[in-house]
Amino acid sequence: MSSAIINGKEIGQEIRGSVAKQVEELKAKGVTPGLAVVLVGNNPASKTYVTNKQKSCEAIGMYSELITLPETISEQQLLEHIRELNERNDIHGILVQLPLPKHINEDSVIATISPDKDVDGFAPISVGKMMLGQETYLPCTPYGVMKLLEHSGIEVAGKHAVIVGRSHIVGKPMGQLLLQKDATVTYTHSKTPDLPSFTKQADILIAAVGRANFITAEHVKEGAVVIDVGINRDEDNHLCGDVDFAAVDGIASHITPVPGGVGPMTITMLLANTVQAAAKTVQP
Ligand code: GUN
């Protein structure tokens, strides 16, 4: 029997519907949620991501502003742009698209974003609060995965979740969010010896390693929930995930497709975080 598909497009649309309602309510109170997206240089993938983010904002009535800056901009000049955005009342969320050019220190840039506007949840203060279980903006991709599990009726408490990948953006925070919901969490990565011996234990397997079709049948336990965070191109230049879908289909109880799984959730949670930031500026 085929695995059940977790449809991120559908779940994302449902959540965007309720975020759109919040946008209407805020507008009625005189506040239009605004997101500033900062794009440095000409990375084609980053341009596509940024365009999608902007279109999604506009589709639900939010304001979005794209700040395109040249590849050669100095770190100081970039920091100055961010400080200006920190001060603006019409901008509630700031997102600096990563990666940045090599001569710019990403850590300094991210740390300059006001924690009140850090809708990516990447800044040290946001990460610290998340670790402590305090209220903050959660990083959009792992937050989106939690919503996928919740909307699919998948219980997390007591389950063994195995994460493959340890990035700041996905792997590390993903484990924290699952831990906070009482999962037992194991972190693995590309240098873990005998990876299948770990992943085979997973009730929930999160693939976030960034390698095309890396997770195959030998990695997956019968009945596991498999969440594929990867967005890669295979040798034929087709979009594919970190999971070899055809190989794992039928072994997993549930699986997210690529595209149409985790991807749409990342932008959805960015919209939700920005609306939350705007709502905080409204007097009760
Ligand atoms: N680059 C790849 N993914 C992301 C993301 O979620 N946020 C930002 N700012 N940059 C990215």
| Residues annotated as part of the active site | 53, 97, 120
CATH number, domain 140-262:
3.40.50.720
Using a 6 Å cutoff on CB, does residue 97 contact ligand 1? yes
The pLDDT averaged over each successive group of 10 residues in the chain (284 residues) is 97 98 98 98 94 97 98 98 98 98 98 98 98 97 98 98 98 98 97 98 98 97 98 93 98 98 98 98 86
DSSP conformational letter for 182: T
Write the residue with the smallest CA distance to atom 1 of ligand 1.
Answer: 98
The DSSP string of 49-76 is HHHHHHHHHHHTT-EEEEEEE-TT--HH
Q: Is 17 helix (H, G, I), strand (E, B) or coil?
A: helix
Residue 165 labelled as part of a binding site: yes
Using the atom order of ligand 1, give the atom closest to the CA of residue 95: 9
The domain at 32-115 falls in which architecture?
A: 3-Layer(aba) Sandwich (3.40)
Domain with CATH 3.40.50.720 in the chain: 140-262
Q: Could you give the residue range(s) of every CATH 3.40.50.10860 domain in the chain?
A: 32-115
Q: Is 273 in the pocket of ligand 1 (CB under 6 A)?
A: no
Is 263 annotated as belonging to a binding site? no
| Confidence at residue 222, expressed as pLDDT on a 0 to 100 scale | 98
Centroid of ligand 1 to alpha carbon of 52 (angstroms): 12
Whether the bond between 193 and the residue before it is cis, its omega within 30 degrees of 0, is no
pTM of the model as a whole: 0.97
Ligand 1 atom closest to the Cα of residue 99 is 1
Contact 162, 150 (CB under 8 A): no
Tokens of 68: 């395109």
Cα(199)–Cα(215) distance, rounded to whole angstroms? 9
- Per the CB < 8 A criterion, the answer to whether 142 and 177 are in contact is yes
Are 75 and 86 in contact, with CB atoms under 8 Å apart? no
